[in-house]
């Protein structure tokens, strides 16, 4: 907080500047002024919060200066410090808004006490203004929220609540005479600053930038910014001004921005309908790529995709759950969920139903695999959001873990765990019986005996068969070279790989790929 001393006597100026340590009471001393005219010239730029001034000075006196300061900076506290103990002066000074009147013969502690009181009065005014601002903002928030949910009220009421009319007019959302203009609701979400308090800071910064760039009023909510703006110009569907504002928002805050624009509201009473349309568009965020500006018109072709998984997908899922490969399960979930997310007809409802079907098929498989034992802990999926893929994987991984935990409790139950390890490490050319035995904490000889008894194959026969099946899948589904396929199947010697594959499939790897292409 800044203090200025005004006195034509140099000794007074120097004395007040040096005898009292103003910093101890939280005041920063500005260079003293030798006259009221000098002070008045400097005050608009230096903006002192507390002014100590003499009364009698050449030119303008201190009382006139106090009146002029009250006009320029109404929040400044003025203290008269004079050598004249005259009640007439004091009365006139009070009329000009002077807050205290001291004699120059006052002791330093009296001057310090007067300065501290003046500072406290400034702080109290600041706090009062802050509270008033908070109350005004809270009232606006409440009114805008109600306007978007219910409209302005009955038809007999004003188009806008009185508390909003001036705000809408200043923001360019009313006509010249205050009459309503067509409006639209824009809902904006932003991501890129992590979770927790940072997400809230990002949305707050986004609200400030939108308010600066667009003619609008805004409402900050927990996970979005609601914006009311004119339907024509900047807010028109695909409007360049709006698109540029959103691009600038993303570039400035280094975040991804998704914006959903509702339909046109001819007057404030129609704003709830525009908001509902924007909410519907917002629900498509994940299906639309998570960023960009979208309108209801762009969703007209989305009538819904499939809602249940196929028998082939259920069979593939069952094999993965039984095999115990977490990596394989994750790849399966990623592939199948991504396909649904990218389907041009998908809706949030159809996606939700499909994901529910996928998880439910895993639970049904578990009940069958455990001979009718109910699958525990099933609960409906939450609404599909940005974590849909991860949530489906988590649910199915829990099913797989429950199944293998049950197996481990029975005789030979550690063999599925070893099989899962083998399938997960087929690309390792050094994969050995000793490694697999160590995973299940058995001696290699005992493990080999149990493995053959449970699978009907020796360890080497099983590994070779799994590697050949992987190689065949890669040849069918990927453009990888034969040498790459061999490496991913765990073989460094391509010639040896070719011999094994021909024995498995009856043709060489190249011939197998060609036959698949011709057959397709």
pLDDT tens track of the chain, all 520 residues? 999 999 999 998 899 898 899 999 999 999 999 999 999 999 999 999 999 988 888 888 888 888 888 888 888 999 888 776 655 565 666 666 677 878 878 888 998 999 999 999 999 888 887 776 666 677 778 888 888 888 776 444 456 767 677 788 877 787 666 677 889 999 999 988 877 777 778 988 999 999 888 888 888 888 899 999 988 754 443 446 788 889 999 999 999 999 999 999 888 888 999 999 999 999 898 888 888 999 998 888 888 999 998 888 988 898 888 778 889 999 999 999 999 888 999 998 999 899 999 999 988 888 876 655 555 555 666 665 557 888 899 999 998 888 777 766 555 567 777 887 888 788 889 999 998 888 777 788 888 988 898 888 999 999 999 999 999 999 988 888 999 999 999 999 999 999 999 999 999 999 999 888 877 5
306 with 390, same domain?
yes
Helices (H), 370-508: 388-408, 414-424, 433-439, 444-455, 459-477, 482-488, 494-505
83 with 22, same domain?
yes
Strand order in the sheet with 2-6: 28-29, 2-6, 50-53, 77-82, 100-103
Q: What is the CATH number of the domain that holds 235?
A: 3.30.70.270
6 with 111, same domain?
yes
How many CB atoms are closer than 10 A to CB 342?
A: 11
330 with 295, same domain?
no
Residue 459 lies in a domain: yes
Boundary (domain end) residue, out of 359, 386, 410: 410
498 with 395, same domain?
no
207 with 292, same domain?
yes
Boundary (domain end) residue, out of 410, 427, 449: 410
446 with 460, same domain?
yes
Matching residue, tokens 């002024």: 33
397 with 504, same domain?
no
If you ran DSSP here, which 8-state letter would residue 180 be given?
B
Range of the domain at 14: 2-125
Q: Structurally, how many domains does the chain consist of?
A: 4
Helix, strand, coil fractions of the chain, as percent rounded to 5:
60, 10, 30
CA distance 184 to 182: 7
CA distance 241 to 239: 6
Segments of 98-137 assigned E as strands: 100-103
Closest CA to 405 of 370, 455, 354, 356: 370
247 with 353, same domain?
no
492 with 466, same domain?
yes
CA 271-204-209 angle, to 5 degrees, is: 75
Q: What is the CATH number of the domain that holds 446?
A: 1.10.10.60
Give the list of residues 6+ apart from residue 105 with CB closer than 8 angstroms, or none: 83
480 with 454, same domain?
yes
261 with 361, same domain?
no
Model pTM?
A: 0.55
CA distance 120 to 118: 5
Residue 448 lies in a domain: yes
CA distance 224 to 259: 9
Residue 137 lies in a domain: no
Q: What sign for the dihedral angle of Cα 190, 192, 196, 198?
A: negative
Matching residue, tokens 């003499």: 54
CA distance 1 to 27: 5
Residue 452 lies in a domain: yes
Measured CA distances, 455 to 448, 458, 459, 472 (Å) = 11, 8, 9, 21
């Amino acid at each position: 907080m800044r203090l200025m001393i005004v006195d034509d006597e140099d000794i007074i100026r120097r004395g007040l500047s040096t005898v009292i340590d103003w910093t101890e009471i939280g005041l920063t001393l500005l260079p003293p002024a030798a006259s009221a005219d000098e002070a008045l010239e400097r005050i608009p730029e230096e903006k002192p919060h507390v002014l100590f001034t003499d009364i009698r000075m050449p030119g303008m006196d201190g009382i006139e200066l106090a009146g002029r300061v009250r006009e320029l900076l109404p929040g400044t506290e003025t203290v008269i410090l004079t050598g004249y103990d005259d009640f007439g002066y004091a009365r006139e000074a009070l009329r000009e808004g002077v807050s205290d009147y001291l004699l120059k013969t006052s002791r330093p502690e009296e001057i310090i006490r007067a300065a501290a009181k003046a500072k406290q009065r400034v702080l109290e005014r600041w706090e009062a203004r802050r509270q008033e601002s908070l109350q005004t903002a809270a009232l606006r928030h409440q009114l805008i929220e109600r306007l978007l949910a219910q409209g302005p009220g009955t038809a007999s009421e004003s188009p806008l609540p009185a508390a909003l009319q001036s705000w809408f007019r200043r923001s360019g959302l009313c006509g010249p005479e205050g009459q309503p203009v067509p409006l639209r609701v824009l809902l904006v979400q932003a991501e890129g600053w992590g979770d927790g308090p940072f997400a809230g800071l990002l949305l707050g910064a986004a609200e400030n930038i939108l308010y600066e760039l667009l003619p609008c009023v805004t409402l900050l909510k927990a996970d979005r910014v609601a914006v009311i703006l004119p339907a024509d110009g900047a807010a028109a569907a695909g409007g360049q001004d709006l698109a540029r504002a959103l691009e600038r928002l993303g570039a400035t805050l280094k975040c991804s921005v998704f914006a959903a624009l509702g339909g046109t509201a001819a007057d404030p009473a129609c704003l709830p309908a525009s908001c509902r349309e924007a909410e519907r568009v917002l629900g498509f965020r994940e299906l639309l790529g998570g960023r960009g500006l979208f309108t209801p018109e762009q969703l007209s072709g989305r009538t819904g995709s499939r809602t249940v998984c196929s028998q082939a997908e259920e069979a593939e899922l069952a094999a993965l759950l039984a095999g115990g490969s977490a990596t394989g399960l994750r790849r399966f979930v990623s592939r199948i969920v991504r396909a649904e997310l990218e389907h041009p007809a998908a809706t949030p409802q159809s996606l939700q139903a499909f994901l529910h079907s996928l998880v439910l098929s895993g639970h049904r498989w578990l009940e069958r695999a455990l001979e009718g034992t109910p699958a525990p802990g099933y609960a409906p999926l939450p609404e599909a959001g940005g974590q849909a893929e991860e949530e489906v994987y988590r649910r199915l991984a829990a099913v797989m873990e429950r199944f293998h935990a049950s197996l481990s409790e029975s005789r030979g139950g550690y063999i599925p765990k070893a099989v899962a390890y083998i399938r997960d490490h087929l690309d390792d050319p050094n994969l050995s019986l000793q490694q697999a035995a160590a995973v299940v904490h058995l001696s290699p000889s005992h493990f080999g005996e149990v493995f053959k008894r449970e699978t009907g194959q020796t360890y080497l026969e099983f590994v070779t068969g799994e590697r050949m099946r992987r190689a065949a899948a890669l040849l069918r589904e990927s453009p990888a070279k034969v040498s790459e396929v061999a490496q991913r199947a765990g073989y460094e010697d391509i010639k040896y790989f070719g011999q094994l594959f021909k024995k498995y499939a009856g043709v060489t790897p190249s011939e197998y790929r060609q036959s698949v292409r011709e057959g397709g």
